[in-house]
Amino acid sequence: MRFFCLHGTGSNSRLLQQQIAAVRYELGGRHTYDFVEGCFPCEAHPALKGSLSADEQAFSYSEPSDAASWRHAVEGLDDYVANEGPFDGVIGFSAGASLAILWLLWRQQQQDVPVKMGVFFSNAIGPDQLKSLGLGETAELQLSAEDLKIPTAHIWGSCDDCEGRANAECGLGICNPDRRSMYVHGKGHEIPTSADDTIGMVKAIDRAILRAGVV
C-alpha cells in the first residue's frame, strides 16, 4: 500500500517519520510512505523542541482557529493527492489526523473518496471545536450525518488529557463501527515506541488494511 502521512502542529515530516518508524518497520516492507510537509511555519510543540535541530523549522497545515485556513488546508491536501497520487491510504497524527478526517468527510460528500483506508493517531479536533470554527455548518466541510465508510484505525493514549481523549473518541465515533479498529495505549498525546504498543498499534492497522482489501 502507498500512504501519505500528515504530521501534528508544531512538528514536521522528519519528526513524523521518526515517530512512526517502529510502526512502519513492523508493518513490513510492502508499504511505502509519502510525508506531506505543512505550509505554515510555527513554533515547535513544547514536547518536540528537544527533537529539532537548531536550524530546523516546525510547521502546521492551517491556522488552528481560522475556519478559512482549515478549508484551504483541505483544498490544498486535495490538490496534493490529485497531483501526487494515487494513494491507498492516509496516516495522520494529532492535527494531521484531524485534517485527514475533514478531507475524507468532504470527499465522501462528493461520493468520491480516493483512498481505501485511514489511520488516525490522537485526532486533535472535536465537534465543539468544529462548530466554533464554523466547519460544522459550512457546506464545503460539514460533518455528514453518515459515518465515514472506509476502514479506519484509531490509536490514542489513555493518559492524554480529557480533551485529547474526547477528540480521539470523536474521530472514532464518526467512522463506521463495522469497519473501524482501535488501540488505546497507556501513554499521553504521542505515538509510543515500546514493543508491546507497537504490536498493538500494528494489529489495529492491519485489521483496517484487511478490511480495505489491499495488500
CB proximity list for 119: less than 8 A, separation 6 or greater: 3, 89, 90, 91, 92, 152, 153, 155, 205, 208
Candidate list 88, 154, 189, 197, residue with the active-site label: 189
- The answer to whether 60 is a known catalytic residue is no
Average pLDDT over residues 199-204: 98
CATH topology of domain 2-212: Rossmann fold (3.40.50)
User: Cα 20 to chain center, whole Å?
Assistant: 12
Lowest mean pLDDT among 92-96, 106-110, 147-151: 106-110
Interaxial angle between packed helices 95-109 and 162-173, expressed in degrees from 0 to 180 and rounded to the nearest 10? 20
- Give pLDDT, residue 129: 61
Candidate list 11, 154, 160, 197, residue with the active-site label: 160
Domain positions in the chain are: 2-212
Average pLDDT over residues 82-102: 95
Which residues on neighbouring strands pair with residue 6, listed in sequence order?
A: 36, 92
Rg (Cα) of the chain, in Å, rounded?
16
- Give the chain's count of helices (H) and strands (E): 7, 8
Candidate list 94, 98, 122, 181, residue with the active-site label: 94
pTM for this prediction:
0.90
- Place 109 in a pLDDT band, splitting at 50, 70 and 90: confident
- The answer to whether 196 is a known catalytic residue is no
Mind listing the pLDDT tens digit for each residue in 129-168?
Answer: 655 555 554 444 455 545 789 999 999 999 999 989 999 9
Q: Tell me the average pLDDT of the chain.
A: 88
Top-confidence residue, 170 or 96: 96
- The answer to whether 7 is a known catalytic residue is no
